[in-house]
Amino acid sequence: MFALLSPNPPGWGGNLLRGLMHSLQIACGAFGMGLVIGTIGAYGKLYGGPVVRDLAAIYTTLVRAIPELVLILLLYYAGTDMINRVLEGMGYQRIDINGLVAGIVVLGFVQGAYATEVLRGAIKSIPQGEIEAARAYGMSPVLMMRRVTLPAMLPHALPGLANLWLISTKDTALLAVVGFSELALETRQAAGATKAYFLFYMGAGALYLLVTLVSNVVLGRVEKAARRGMPSVKEAR
């Protein structure tokens, strides 16, 4: 056990821990990218022009309609090929896209569609009077977003965003189909080499469960801090 916790743990246990770290790196990057896309998409759907609203609606509809595994295969292989074709057309050499970057971009693109709807619903839950008051004071859209919209929407958005974070940690397992060495692929290789399928898959499940439990504690504290001063459910009744 202590050997597994060392900086360079030996054996297949070390491979599983390195796979877990890769999974967490991808999940963090994809979740952050999804938040950026979701914020832009939510504002586009609510306050954009007809073209922007239609594009945002097409994006969220397609991503949520197509299975994530199909999207990952499509974006990973077709997207990489399209980028290289464009580079060749411009006179540049083909490039090998880093697996970590590709995983973050692919999952972040998927996360962005769901984050768009979560944030859009959170923004719509803000009392309209607060928005009108900010406009009456002459706040610019950026200032209003920083001082009014984001603080007011955060308590409403956190439950949905917390769910998206947990989904992103599990969706990293789908990247095993494109050969990225995250936890699921490392587990499959270890189980295949040792034939100890039960041991390694149970170990991987325990690691995913540990990530979920720690995430629930952290996210619960963040949500509690964001809702400070707001009436609780019992008080609201």
Higher-scoring residue by pLDDT: 143, 230 = 143
Q: How many helices (H) and strands (E) does the chain have?
A: 11, 0
- Cβ 16 vs Cβ 204: under 8 Å: yes
- Cβ 63 vs Cβ 113: under 8 Å: yes
Distance (Å, rounded) from C-alpha 164 to C-alpha 78? Answer: 25
Say if residue 225's pLDDT is above 60.
Answer: yes
Could you tell me the two tokens for 199?
């041991």
Q: What digits encode the pLDDT tens for the residues 64-111?
A: 898 888 888 887 777 777 888 888 888 777 777 777 787 888 889 999
Highest mean pLDDT among 4-13, 67-76, 104-113, 177-186: 104-113
Q: What digits encode the pLDDT tens for the residues 27-54?
A: 999 999 999 999 999 988 988 889 999 9
Query: What is the pLDDT, as a whole number, of residue 210?
Result: 93
Say if residue 139's pLDDT is above 70.
Answer: yes
Say if residue 220's pLDDT is above 80.
Answer: yes
pTM summary value: 0.82
Say if residue 7's pLDDT is above 90.
Answer: no
- Cβ 183 vs Cβ 207: under 8 Å: yes
Of 3-7, 141-145, 147-151, 215-219, the least confident? 3-7
- What CA–CA distances, in Å, run from 25 to 53, 119, 179, 206? 32, 23, 16, 18
Query: What is the pLDDT, as a whole number, of residue 115?
Result: 94
Could you tell me the two tokens for 140?
């610019």
Query: What is the pLDDT, as a whole number, of residue 165?
Result: 94
Amino acid at site 152: A
Distance (Å, rounded) from C-alpha 188 to C-alpha 5? Answer: 21
- Cβ 27 vs Cβ 215: under 8 Å: no
Contacts of 21 (CB under 8 A, 6+ apart): none
Percent of the chain with pLDDT over 70: 92
Say if residue 155's pLDDT is above 60.
Answer: yes
DSSP 145-179: IIIIIHHHHHHHHHHHHHHHHHHHHHHGGGGGGGT
Domain at 18-236, CATH class: mainly alpha
Percent of the chain with pLDDT over 90: 27
Q: How confident is the model at residue 229 (pLDDT cuts 50, 70, 90)?
A: low
Look at residue 93 and give its three-state secondary structure. coil
The single residue listed with the structure tokens 């939510």 is 42
Could you tell me the residue ranges of all domains in the chain? 18-236
